[in-house]
Amino acid sequence: MTANIIDGKSLAEQLKAAMKAHIQQKQVEGHRPPGLAVILIGEDPASTIYVRNKREACEYVGIRSFYHPLPATTTEATLTALIHTLNKDSAVDGILIQLPLPAHIDTPTILALLDPHKDVDGFHPYNIGRLAQRRPLLRPCTPYGVMKLLEHIQQPIRGKHAVVVGASDIVGRPMALELLLAGATVTVCHRATEKLETYVSQADILVSAVGNPGFIQGNWIKKGAIVIDVGITRLADGSLSGDIDYDSAKKNAGWITPVPGGVGPMTVAMLLANTLTAYDRFTTFDTSSPHPPCRAPSPKGEGMQD
């Protein structure tokens, strides 16, 4: 058998087109566009490219991008002050802090400073907590994108055995929570897991996010499994590789994501979707004027209903 290819790039384009139409309609009604503030500290080449791609995606759908490039020497105090300013800015619906941060800045402390309703990466303890309590709001973008891919191919999740390889705060752990929410039985494998091949071979749904090219062999894959490759590594020859040996895996898998063109475009699309969710749910509009400005919501506008 040869696996069906899950085209994340195509789905991401469809989602962005729908978001663009929604934003255009909001502006026809006289409302301001959504706003996303992007903070980049230092000049890491990969981070710079990621930020550029996200800002271009914002421009395409009609989200206003507020760019804040800062030197690598930026202090935690300076970054804290900027975050407080953006939290109060009524034109900013989402705040993205491009990771990783320099070693002298404590990442968990900084992420916890964000207004949870502007945390469009979905990393704030409040948003992770809501996901854990089965009441998701702003969701970590990569796991959210994976769930959209699974929804798109219309394959059953409930009752299936899902195996997540990697237990990072950014992908692995929230990915397990998303799959639990969808009714899967979930196993999380990590650096201390013994006999990894045994777990992988049991997976009806496999999600790998370790960043180790070709780490998972195709003969480990269960016949007909859904294989989602989150890992992406640039090789010495300039090509990109996922965690899974793609050529051998697609002979066993029923569905598989390519690298690139699978999960990556969906991560960006879900960042935009979270920004639009924050805009729609946490912004109120003054309708007394022909071109109503936005104003910040009161605490009662939190949107706790599910």
Residues with a known catalytic role: 54, 98, 121
**Among candidate residues 91, 73, 115, the one with its CA nearest the CA of residue 37:** 91
Spell out the long-range contacts of 290-294 with Cβ–Cβ below 8 A and sequence spacing 24 or more: 290/30, 291/30, 292/30, 292/31, 293/32, 293/90, 294/31, 294/32, 294/90, 294/91
Please name every residue paired with 282 in a beta bridge, in sequence order, or none if there are none: none
Q: What are phi and psi of 254, to 5 degrees?
A: -85, -35
Could you tell me which of 41, 42, 44, 39 has the C-alpha nearest to residue 54?
39
Distance separating alpha carbons of residues 134 and 157, to the nearest angstrom:
16
CA-nearest of 165, 125, 173, 147 to 269 is 147
Where do the H-state alpha helices sit in 62-171? 76-88, 107-113, 125-132, 141-153
* Ordered strands of the 64-70 beta sheet: 64-70, 35-41, 94-97
> Is the N-terminal amide bond of 100 cis, ω within 30° of 0?
yes
Query: Burial level of 285, CB count in 10 A (0-12/13-18/19+)?
Result: middle
Task: Report d(CA 196, CA 79) in Å as an integer.
Answer: 40
Q: Which residues contact 66 (CB under 8 A, 6 or more apart)?
A: 35, 36, 37, 38, 86, 91, 92
Please give the distance of CA 26 from its chain centroid, rounded to a whole number: 24
